Structure 1
């Protein structure tokens, strides 16, 4: 089997203990030589400062390429582009440009009066700077706010036309879900890499909540498996097997890069990568 390249997504730490956890997570996964790692924004832009600090810390101390998430939520155009410029000044050249989730309890996204109206407007502005590679989100299963998949794909095409250079999908659990989406994107004239997003199931209850919120379906066979596990060890083995099988099917079907949503818990992701034939290189010594 061809060994794919990989990337890993983290979320920014909210306290000192979590900062050490992120450091250990990066240290654990860095020897797999990811093409890049990314750091998310919280809903409503709540972790903007923390995201910036985490991105710059990882970039400055690990030597890994870092992609910073940037959203349209609760900020003026000037403020958002100023954040992007600080990344450029720090040597960060990759941005994941997203509309962003509304603040908790807000119900729906409402643009800032002086902000970007949507992700397309943000992408256009970032592309005009000429300073960044711009990744965007994509949805193999229809986004909860989209009318249907055709509308989803048409909007992704708008993002690519605005300057996006790649797309990272929401997580899914069946390879055919990705392949159908990928083929529909090609048919629509979308010619940038479509990177499958993988969520190893570290917490079954949490995964069910995530899936419900973003419209991702969970096959009954996975539900049955987790309903019958006896302990944490069995759960980990099942999670590793599910994610490894999915990744193997994706690579066999032509995927050359896999993006893992780690939730700052590196063990499952590392185990899946090893099962796919990736070998760890020398450990990093200076990851903060």
Structure 2
């Protein structure tokens, strides 16, 4: 089995302790030579400044290729493009362009009066600058706000036609979920790379709750397996085995790149990567 190309997602820290955890995560995973790492935006744009600071720090001190998340939420077009151009001026030209989640107390997404109405509008504007490599989100299971799965594929095609070059999927728990989605995208004429998003399960209760909120199917067999594993204090072992098997099944079906949602906890992600044959290639030196 050929080792896949890998990438990692981090989220920006909100306090000093979280800052140390983020940097420990970067140091633990950087030797695996990811093709890029991404830094998320909080719901409602709540971590905008934190994201910018985390992107700048990782870019400056790690030597990794950093992709900054950018959303349409609660900002004018000028403000959003100003943030993007600030990234580019600092040498960060990879963007993960998303509509973004509304603030937690909002009923749904409402565009800013002077902002971008959708992710497609944002992608078109970013593409027009000629400064960015743009990635977007994709949903192998129906997005909670989509009419049906076909609507998700149509929307993905619009985003790619607007100037994006790659899609990163929402996480899922069974390989067939992604493979069916990939086949449907190919039938729709989508030929851009679609990279599966992988969630190593650090905490089953939290992961399953989050999955249901995202519209991700939670298999009954996983519920049963983690219930038994928690009783026997072997949840990490089970999580590593399940995630490794999922990735191996995808690789056997021709998937050559994986995007890991690390939750700023590197151990399971690193163990899975090692099991897949992704071994350390570089080391971080002279970091601040």
Structure 2 CA distance, aligned partners of 1:143 and 1:134?
21
Residue of structure 2 in register with 1:35 after alignment: 35
Structure 2 stretches lacking a partner, 5+ long: none
- Residue 229 of structure 1 aligns to a residue whose secondary structure is helix
Q: In 2, are the aligned partners of 1:27 and 1:287 still within 8 Å (CA)?
A: no
Structure 1 stretches lacking a partner, 5+ long: none
Residue of structure 2 in register with 1:115 after alignment: 115
Residue of structure 2 in register with 1:56 after alignment: 56
Q: In 2, are the aligned partners of 1:240 and 1:272 still within 8 Å (CA)?
A: yes
Q: C-alpha offsets along residues 85-113 of structure 1, whole Å, 9 cap, x if unaligned?
A: 00100111100000000001102000000
Q: C-alpha offsets along residues 55-93 of structure 1, whole Å, 9 cap, x if unaligned?
A: 010001100000000000000000000000001001111
Q: In 2, are the aligned partners of 1:26 and 1:287 still within 8 Å (CA)?
A: no
Comparing 181-190 with 71-80, greater Cα deviation is found at 181-190
- Residue 73 of structure 1 aligns to a residue whose secondary structure is coil
Residue of structure 1 in register with 2:89 after alignment: 89
Q: C-alpha offsets along residues 152-180 of structure 1, whole Å, 9 cap, x if unaligned?
A: 10011110111110000000011111011
| TM-score with structure 1 setting the length | 0.98
Residue of structure 2 in register with 1:190 after alignment: 190
Structure 1 CA distance, aligned partners of 2:142 and 2:63?
36
How big is the alpha-carbon RMSD for the aligned residues of Structure 1 and Structure 2? 1.0
Matched positions, count: 288
Q: In 1, are the aligned partners of 2:33 and 2:282 still within 8 Å (CA)?
A: no
| TM-score with structure 2 setting the length | 0.98
Q: CA deviation at 1:2?
A: 1.0
Mapping of 1:65-144 within 5 angstroms?
Answer: 65-144=65-144
Q: CA deviation at 1:282?
A: 3.7
Residue of structure 2 in register with 1:283 after alignment: 283
Change (3 A) 1:247 1:72: same
Q: In 2, are the aligned partners of 1:58 and 1:287 still within 8 Å (CA)?
A: no
Aligned pair 1:270/2:270, yes or no? yes
